[in-house]
Amino acid sequence: MIWVSWRQHRGQAAACLALIAVLAVYAIIEGTSMRTAFGNDNLAPCLARSQGTGCETAVGAFMNEFSSEVNIAFWSVALIVPGLIGVLVGGSLIARELEFGTWRLAWSQTVPRARWLAAKLALVTGGLIVVGAAMTAVITWYRAPMDQLTGRLQHNIFDFEGLVPTAYILCAFGFAVLAGLLIRRSIPAMVAAFVPWLAIRLVIEFVFRSHFMTPLTVADLCGPGGPNGPGNCGMGIGFVPQATGRVGDLILSMNGNLITYQPASRFWPFQFIEAGIFVVLTAAALGTAVWLLRRRATWTA
Amino acid sequence: MTIDKGISKIPALRAEHLGRRYGKAWGLRDCTFDVPAGAVTALVGPNGAGKTTLLEMITGLLRPTEGQVLVFGETSRAETAAALARVGYVAQDHPLYRDFTVADMFRLGRAMNPGWDQQLAAGRMEALGIPLGRKVKRLSGGQRAQVSLSMALAKRAPLLVLDEPVASLDPVARTELMRDVTDVAAATNLTVLISSHVVAELERFCDWLIVLSRGRVQLAGPVGELLAAHRLLTVPRATPDGDLPEAAVHRSDENGRSLVVVRAGPDGPAPPRPGWQDGPVSFEQLVLAYLQRPAAQTTEDNPAPAARRPGPSTKEATR
C-alpha cells in the first residue's frame, strides 16, 4: 500500500515540493536583505538593551521597509494556502475513485476497503506533515528578524509559525476526505470542505484564541490617568506595549488604567492549544470517513 | 460440458435468497442458485436486470439487504481479506488508473494481493503484444479489457467474476477474450461467472446458465440439461393461448406461425397436435423465452415456474 499511495499521490507531492521551492527562493532573496538591514541598523543590541527604547527611528525605518511586504505578501497566501493544499489533496482521495469507477478495482483486491483507506490516509497525512513543517520552517527563518521586533503572538504571525500551519493543512485535508466520501465528486467536495474550514479557522483566530488561557492584567502606569502620565514614559516601539514593556505582549483591552493582555511567553502553549483543536477536528473527520467506508454497503445507487 | 460435476462437493458459488434494495425498490430479490466448481456460467439479462448488483454482492463490494452469498462455502463480505482473495473481479468498463502504466497496474496488483502471479500477468501482456510501459490511457478498449482480465487472473482467485467483459469490444476482440477466459478456466479449474446482455456466442463458451430479469432469477442450471428440458413448438398463428400446453414458457408470433417454448415433461415432449411441429430449442430461443416472459409469471423462488398460461404474445426480439 505504501507504493500504491505514493504512485497515486506523487503528482501532488511534486506540486507541493515546487510550491515549497518557490517559497524558499522568495524567502532567501527577501530574507537575506532583511537580515542585512537588521544587522546594519544594530537592532539586535538595542532590543537586548532596552526592548527598542532609544532606537525607535531605526526600528521604524526597518518596519517601513519590510513590514508591508511581510504582511501583504503573506497574509492572503498564508491564510488560504494551507486550506487549498489540504482540500486539493483530500478532495480527490476517495471521490476520484468513485468518479472514475476505479473503486471497483481498488476495493476488489485482497485489501479490505477500510484498511485501504486507513493506509492511504496514514501515508498522505505523513506527507502533509512534512510539507507543512517545511513551509513553516521556511517562513519562520524568513521572518526571524521581524519576529524579534513584533513577537509571535500577533495575528498574521502566530498563524504562519510553530505548529498551527501544519494543523490547518491536516484539518482541511480531513474535511475534504470526508466530503469526498459523502459527495462522491472531487471539486464539490473540495469546495464543501474549504468553506467550513475557513470559517472555523477565522472564528478560532478572532473569537477564541485570545481566551485560550486566562489573560493577565497590569496597571498602566503610563496611561492618561496613570501616576506617571503619558509624558514620563518613553515612546517605545510599536510592538512593545508601554504597560508591559516587553516585545510581543498582546494587548487585549484597556479599561481605564487596567490593561488585559496575553504575554509573549504564551506563544508555545497557544500553539499547542490551537494545533490541538485542529488535529482533533482532523482525527474526527478521518475517523468518520474510515467508519463510513466500512459501514456503507453501497456505492452504485 | 459436464452436467453433474460438483454435486457432491461444496458449490463454488451459492446464492441464498439474496436480495438488494435501493431505497424502496428492489434491485434484486430472492435470488437462489448454485454453481459448481469449474463451471463457466453465463449470467444473462437485459440492462437493469440486476446483473451488476448480483456480481457486486458476490465480490463483496455490495452488501446484501437480505440473504447471503457463499463462495466455496464461505460468506462473501468485504470486511475480510480472505473473502476478497477468493474472487477475481473484472468490473464493467474495465476500470484502471488512467495515468498508470501497465507495469504500474501490475505492481499495484502485486502490492494488494498476496497470491499475485506476476509471470502470468506479464506473460499475457507479452503474448498479446501490449507493452508494459504504455500508459493505460493510450491503450485501446480491447487492450484495457485484457489488462483488467490479466489482473483478475493474476490474483489467482478460484472464482473469476466478469461484468459485461465484452460489451465495449468489437466482435474479434470479443471472441478472443471469451476464448482466453475459457481456456484459462479449463486449464486451471477456475470457476467463471460472466454477465452479458449479448446472448449470441455465449453458448460456445458457457456450460451453465443463469437468466436474470426484473431482479429475479428466471432460469438457472447446466446448459445441456436446460436445453434437454425444453422443446420448441411451431404452431399456427391462429392458435389461441388457451390451446397451448400448460408447460408453455413463452410464445412469439411470426408471419403465419407462432413459436412456443415449452418445458418437456418427465416423459419427453408432449405429443404435438395436428399441424404442430415439435423440435429442439436453441440456446438463444431458450434464453429469450425466459427473458421475455411476462412479469406476472415470475414466481417467488422457482426458476421453472408452475403451470401458467403464457400471457400476451410479444414479437421476437431482434438482437
Q: A40-49, B140-149, B168-177, B254-263: which has the highest mean pLDDT?
A: B140-149
Residue B315: CB atoms within 10 Å: 9
pLDDT tens, B98-132? 999 999 999 999 999 999 999 999 999 999 999 99
Q: What is the pLDDT of residue B275?
A: 78
Q: How far is A296 from chain B (nearest CA, A)?
A: 8
- In this structure, chain A runs to a length of 301
Put simply, the answer to whether B61 touches A108 (Cβ < 8 Å) is: yes
Put simply, the answer to whether B95 touches A105 (Cβ < 8 Å) is: yes
Q: How far is B269 from chain A (nearest CA, A)?
A: 44
Q: Does A295 touch chain B (CB under 8 A)?
A: no
When CB atoms are compared, the residue of A4, A11, A108 closest to B111 is A4
pLDDT tens, A252-292? 887 777 888 888 889 999 999 999 999 999 999 999 999 99
Question: By CA distance, what is A102's nearest residue in B?
Answer: B95
State yes or no: pLDDT of B300 exceeds 50: no
Q: What is the pLDDT of residue B170?
A: 85
Sign, CA dihedral B217-B221-B224-B225, equals: negative
Candidates A2, A109, A113: best to mutate against B (most CBs of B within 10 A) is A109
Q: How far is A288 from chain B (nearest CA, A)?
A: 17
Sign, CA dihedral B72-B77-B79-B81, equals: positive
Question: By CA distance, what is B149's nearest residue in A?
Answer: A105
Looking at residues A33-48, what average pLDDT do you find?
A: 82
β-strands B40-44, B208-213 pairing: parallel
Across chain A, mean pLDDT equals 86
Looking at residues A188-200, what average pLDDT do you find?
A: 97
Instruction: Provide the residue ranges of all domains of chain A, joining segments of one domain with +.
Output: 2-211+267-295
When CB atoms are compared, the residue of A107, A113, A300 closest to B52 is A300
Q: Does A214 touch chain B (CB under 8 A)?
A: no
DSSP letters for B196-253 = ES--TTHHHH-SEEEEEETTEEEEEEEHHHHHHTEEEEEEETT--GGGS-TTEEEEEE
Its ipTM equals 0.84
Indicate the burial class of B100 (C-beta count within 10 angstroms; 0-12, 13-18, 19 or more).
buried
Split at pLDDT 50, 70, 90, the class of B309 is very low
Residue B250: CB atoms within 10 Å: 22
- State what percent of residues in chain B have pLDDT above 90: 46
Q: What is the pLDDT of residue B47?
A: 83
Residue A273: CB atoms within 10 Å: 17
Q: What is the pLDDT of residue B272?
A: 66
When CB atoms are compared, the residue of B96, B98, B112 closest to A110 is B112
Nearest to B113 by CA among A296, A9, A298, A107: A107
Split at pLDDT 50, 70, 90, the class of B221 is very high
Per DSSP, the three-state class of A212 is coil
Number of Cβ pairs < 8 A linking chain A and chain B: 87
Put simply, the answer to whether B112 touches A4 (Cβ < 8 Å) is: yes
Indicate the burial class of A39 (C-beta count within 10 angstroms; 0-12, 13-18, 19 or more).
exposed
Split at pLDDT 50, 70, 90, the class of B319 is very low
Q: What is the pLDDT of residue A239?
A: 65
Which domains, ranges and CATH numbers included, belong to chain B?
A: 13-224 (3.40.50.300), 229-315 (no CATH)
Split at pLDDT 50, 70, 90, the class of B302 is very low
Question: By CA distance, what is B27's nearest residue in A?
Answer: A301
Residues 88-117 of chain A whose Cβ lies under 8 A from any Cβ of chain B: 100-105, 107-114, 116
State yes or no: pLDDT of B75 exceeds 50: yes
Looking at residues B77-97, what average pLDDT do you find?
A: 88
Q: What is the pLDDT of residue B311?
A: 39
Split at pLDDT 50, 70, 90, the class of A297 is low
Q: What is the pLDDT of residue A68?
A: 65
Q: What does the block give as the cell for B312? A: 400476451
Looking at residues A167-181, what average pLDDT do you find?
A: 97
- Cα of first residue to Cα of last residue in chain B, in angstroms, is 26
Q: Each residue of A205-233: b (16+ CB within 10 Å) or e?
A: beeebbebeebeebebbbbeebeeeeeeb
State yes or no: pLDDT of B259 exceeds 70: yes
Nearest to B59 by CA among A113, A39, A205: A113
Put simply, the answer to whether B96 touches A102 (Cβ < 8 Å) is: yes
Question: By CA distance, what is B114's nearest residue in A?
Answer: A110
Helices (H) and strands (E) in chain A, counts: 8, 3
pLDDT tens, A94-110? 999 999 999 999 999 99
When CB atoms are compared, the residue of A102, A104, A112 closest to B97 is A102
Split at pLDDT 50, 70, 90, the class of B315 is very low
Q: Which residues are within 8 A (CB) of B307 and not within 5 positions of it... i.e. 6 or more apart?
A: B246, B247
Indicate the burial class of A71 (C-beta count within 10 angstroms; 0-12, 13-18, 19 or more).
middle
Put simply, the answer to whether A297 touches B62 (Cβ < 8 Å) is: yes
Indicate the burial class of B157 (C-beta count within 10 angstroms; 0-12, 13-18, 19 or more).
buried
State yes or no: pLDDT of B317 exceeds 50: no
Q: What is the pLDDT of residue B175?
A: 87
The more confident residue out of A190 and A30 is: A190
Split at pLDDT 50, 70, 90, the class of B296 is low
Per DSSP, the three-state class of B15 is strand
Considering only CB atoms, which chain B residues are within 8 Å of A3?
A: 107-108, 111
When CB atoms are compared, the residue of B87, B96, B115 closest to A105 is B96
When CB atoms are compared, the residue of B84, B87, B107 closest to A3 is B107
Residues 15-34 of chain B whose Cβ lies under 8 A from any Cβ of chain A: 20, 22-23
Put simply, the answer to whether A100 touches B95 (Cβ < 8 Å) is: yes
Q: Does B316 touch chain A (CB under 8 A)?
A: no
- Look at A209-213, B175-179, B196-200 and tell me which has the smallest mean pLDDT: B196-200
Q: What does the block give as the cell for B187? A: 486449464
Q: Is the overall model pTM greater than 0.90, yes or no?
A: no
Q: What is the pLDDT of residue A86?
A: 97
Q: What is the pLDDT of residue A154?
A: 84
Across chain B, mean pLDDT equals 84
Q: What is the pLDDT of residue B200?
A: 76
Residue A194: CB atoms within 10 Å: 21
β-strands B25-35, B13-22 pairing: antiparallel
Q: At B168, which amino acid appears?
A: S
Q: Does B47 touch chain A (CB under 8 A)?
A: no
Q: What is the pLDDT of residue A234?
A: 53
